[in-house]
Amino acid sequence: MKASALIILTFFSVLAMNVIGQKSGYPKNNPIELGKVSWLRNYNEAIAAAKQKELPVLILFQEVPGCSNCTKFGNEILSHPLVVEAIETCFIPLCIYNNQSGHDSEILKKYNEPSWNNPVIRIVDHKGLDLVSRQPDFRSMSKTLASLAKGITASGHEVPTYLDLMLEEADARENGNLTDVYFSMYCFWSGEKEIGGLDGVLSTEAGYMHGQEVVRVSYRPDRVKLADLYQKAGKKGCADDVYGSVRAGENIVVKPAGPYRKDKEDKYYIYGSAYKNIPMTELQKMKVNRALGTGRNPDIYLSPRQLGWLNSANTQSHLSDKIETVWWKS
């Protein structure tokens, strides 16, 4: 009787562990250098899968165990949930260790890749031919994302909107093309909705400054001039005064910024919806908030796995959280 009970208990324990592992969404036994992507380890299997599924192969040449550069690449870029989703759904992921003999060494020589090297990404077709230039810049999220986007396009597929948005954010941050200003107005909820639709704006946030309702606007000065942004926002009643430390242009006065306090109902239209439970990037939050506020479908800005959160039992708001911080914990 005790033996039978032990067998039953063991069965359900293993079953529970499998369910938990599936729910977490990434392989628990991955070396840190591989991030949270589920990789194939055999080149021929990857090529066959690429032909069957009509997808390109993304080859990661990686040192495992590796140096700090390798672990950083795995911990950061290869662990971002949207990067993981793009690699797993738009490609056949294949990892080749650059510091081992046998099959790995053969593929390394086939592509003339050096051994004991920093991470390199190559994207090839089902014949093993390069679709885009090799990507050796392991420190750059934007260059990695750009390589993914080019590989998807070169294979005849459409780049997902969520990947385009992420690339735009990463490019702006890495190249220092991001400036903050504060626009005062009568209603910051309407302001977020309207300003969120202007070209060159990457994020908005509702708050208070100098006793006024304001929207903090992060924009790309290489895409839009402050004077033009002010004029367009003003036409929508969303730019009474401008605060910040940026240099004023023609026909615009920028006043000194003061203490700022974020509103508890920032992203008002998301705040009152089930979309608040979905972890998103800042640009996604802005786009989704505007879509909800204007009665349009916000789903086009989100990935399929993000949309899966709408149907989950999770009811915790992630509106103020960073997607890379909370995704794997939930």
State the Cα angle at 295 between 293 and 298, rounded to 5°.
80
Reading the block at residue 162, the tokens are 């969520």
DSSP 176-187: T--EEEEEEES-
Q: Quick one: 125 and 201 in the same domain?
A: no
| pLDDT the model gives residue 329 | 86
Query: What is the spatial distance between Cα 288 and Cα 280, in angstroms, rounded to a whole number?
Result: 9
Q: Quick one: 199 and 327 in the same domain?
A: yes
Q: Which residues constitute the domain of residue 289?
A: 194-330
CATH number reported for the structural domain that contains residue 272 in this entry: 3.30.1060.10
Q: Quick one: 9 and 38 in the same domain?
A: no
Query: What is the spatial distance between Cα 273 and Cα 253, in angstroms, rounded to a whole number?
Result: 37
Q: pLDDT, tens digit, for every residue of 76-133? A: 999 999 999 999 999 999 999 999 999 999 999 999 999 999 999 999 999 999 999 9
| pLDDT the model gives residue 244 | 93
pLDDT band with cut points at 50, 70 and 90 for residue 2: very low
Q: Quick one: 77 and 152 in the same domain?
A: yes
85, 42 Cβ separation under 8 angstroms: no
CATH number reported for the structural domain that contains residue 149 in this entry: 3.40.30.10
Residue 40 neighbours by CB under 8 Å, 6+ apart: 46, 49, 92, 93, 94, 95
The answer to whether residue 4 sits within a structural domain is yes
CA dihedral 110, 111, 114, 118 (to 10 degrees): -130
Whether 29 has a pLDDT exceeding 80, the answer reads yes
Q: Quick one: 229 and 124 in the same domain?
A: no
Per the model's pLDDT, the better-predicted residue between 9 and 115 turns out to be 115
Q: What average pLDDT does this structure show over 156-182?
A: 94
| pLDDT the model gives residue 25 | 64
Q: Quick one: 2 and 88 in the same domain?
A: no
| pLDDT the model gives residue 193 | 96
Q: pLDDT, tens digit, for every residue of 232-277? A: 999 999 999 999 988 766 678 999 999 999 999 999 999 999 999 9
Q: Quick one: 40 and 3 in the same domain?
A: no
State the chain's maximal CA–CA distance in angstroms.
87
pLDDT band with cut points at 50, 70 and 90 for residue 316: confident
Q: Quick one: 229 and 108 in the same domain?
A: no
Whether 3 has a pLDDT exceeding 60, the answer reads no
Q: Quick one: 322 and 208 in the same domain?
A: yes
Q: Quick one: 54 and 4 in the same domain?
A: no
Q: Quick one: 299 and 224 in the same domain?
A: yes
Q: pLDDT, tens digit, for every residue of 183-223? A: 999 999 999 999 999 999 999 999 999 999 999 999 999 99
* Cβ count within 10 A of residue 257: 18
| pLDDT the model gives residue 250 | 66
Q: What average pLDDT does this structure show over 154-183?
A: 94
Whether 14 has a pLDDT exceeding 60, the answer reads no
State the Cα angle at 12 between 11 and 18, rounded to 5°.
95
The answer to whether residue 36 sits within a structural domain is yes
pLDDT band with cut points at 50, 70 and 90 for residue 144: very high
pLDDT band with cut points at 50, 70 and 90 for residue 67: very high
pLDDT band with cut points at 50, 70 and 90 for residue 28: confident
Query: What is the spatial distance between Cα 181 and Cα 204, in angstroms, rounded to a whole number?
Result: 10
The answer to whether residue 178 sits within a structural domain is no
Tell the burial category of 39 from Cβ atoms under 10 Å away from its Cβ (0-12, 13-18, 19+): buried
Confidence (pTM) = 0.89
Q: Quick one: 64 and 18 in the same domain?
A: no
The answer to whether residue 125 sits within a structural domain is yes
- In whole numbers, what is the pLDDT of the chain averaged over residues? 90
Query: What is the spatial distance between Cα 221 and Cα 174, in angstroms, rounded to a whole number?
Result: 14
Bridge partners for 226 per DSSP: none
Report the domain count for the chain: 3
DSSP 85-145: HHHHHHSEEEEEETT--THHHHHHHHTTPPSS---EEEEE-TTS-BSS--B--TT-HHHHH
Among 106, 135, 159, give the residue marking a domain's end: 159
